[in-house]
Amino acid sequence: MLPGGLLVLGVFIITTLEMGNDFQNTLRRLVFAVEKSMNKKRLWNFTEEEVSDRVTLYMCSSTKKIVCRTYDIHDPKSSAKPADWKYQNGLSTSWLSLECTVHINIHIPLSTTSVSYTLEKNTKNGLARWAKQIENGVYLINGQVRAEDCDLLEGQKKSKGITQAVSQSFDVRVLTQLLLNSDHRSTATVQICSGSVNLKGTVKCRAYIHNSKPKVKDAVQAVKRDILNTVADRCEILFEDLLLNEIPEKKDSEKEFHILPHRVFVPIPGSTVMLCDYKFGDESAEEIRDHFIEMLDHRIQTEDLEIAEEINTAFMSSSVNTEPSLDNTDDEQPKEPIKTTVVLKIQQNIGMLIAFGVAVLAAGISFHYFSD
């Protein structure tokens, strides 16, 4: 539900004074369990500069007393540290929005050596290479390349010491490298594959950063993480849906397409920040609204929902034969921007076509040589 720039900082509980001490160990275990669960699907790592402390907050329902403690999630044996809990005015409205549209075309071969792995694990391993491209990409903010240590709001007008950019939105564009550096060699590897996964389409990304002296590097980092998170989340949701609604395999099919869930944003009351969720094409707006109400415990109107992507159709196919596949490390870029939503495509028997083409070419060269 959290877009880029926002993280789960901890857990809280509201209970009576008598039961307060009984829940301290439970809160501690819950903090580490939440972080472990979220870390499994992340395609990025925390930086050394980021704070690794997470918060547990206990509130007494009768005395209104608040007890706040922190734990270092990088240390499983970390002990509780007391912390102060303070309220700040206007914090929920002091966020800058960063919006980005990314066209993706990711090819992930499914090697026969990893046949024991789940489709989800194979896909995550394949996404790791694409994640490096996103990490190493060039990011344009409002059409300009800016130094990482520059102030994001540099040049903005100020009034009475407060920057007039509380609800400002920045347009971010991503440029990924088409060619490797001269220090690296572009090579092709041959793998025996049982199939492949293709992710194609356009994803709408949105990140938020606090307007208290934000740096360009912080804004870029928030956008990067949102790009990686939303693609990984959609794949995970799709695979779970395929397991729950298993469809009998089609014998005469060669390709099978599945549509990945679409992103839906909803505003937080009294804030410029929007949370997100995902929906499949057959889910109605009322179902998504009820899901948000259940999670946020707040009344939401259907017209408040913002569906970021259009709905398109897709199909999927598979084959039981195992054929060799040629995997080039330089992914071919589409000639035209892909306007469809993100689609999962499983392709097979590509290796057979390549091998047939090579054989025909070799036969033609041999015939020409002997005829001379």
Dist. CA 321–CA 192, nearest whole Å: 11
Hey, what are 159's tokens?
Answer: 């009034």
| Amino acid letter for position 283 | E
Dist. CA 207–CA 305, nearest whole Å: 17
Dist. CA 167–CA 291, nearest whole Å: 27
Dist. CA 66–CA 61, nearest whole Å: 10
119-135 vs 216-244: helix crossing angle, rounded to 10: 160
Instruction: Give me the torsion for CA of 270, 272, 276, 282, rounded to 10°.
Output: 80
Rounded mean pLDDT, 107-118: 72
Look at the block and give the residue holding tokens 């900082």: 9
What confidence tens digit (pLDDT) does each residue in 5-47 have?
Answer: 999 999 999 988 777 777 888 899 999 999 998 888 899 999 9
Dist. CA 130–CA 226, nearest whole Å: 14
Rounded mean pLDDT, 176-194: 68
Hey, what are 126's tokens?
Answer: 């394949």
Kind of pairing between the strands at 66-72 and 81-83: antiparallel
Dist. CA 213–CA 125, nearest whole Å: 37
pTM for this one? 0.79
What confidence tens digit (pLDDT) does each residue in 36-72 have?
Answer: 988 888 999 999 889 999 999 999 988 888 999 999 9
- Stated as kind and residue range, the H or E segment containing 36 is helix 24-40
pLDDT bucket at 134, cuts 50 / 70 / 90: very high
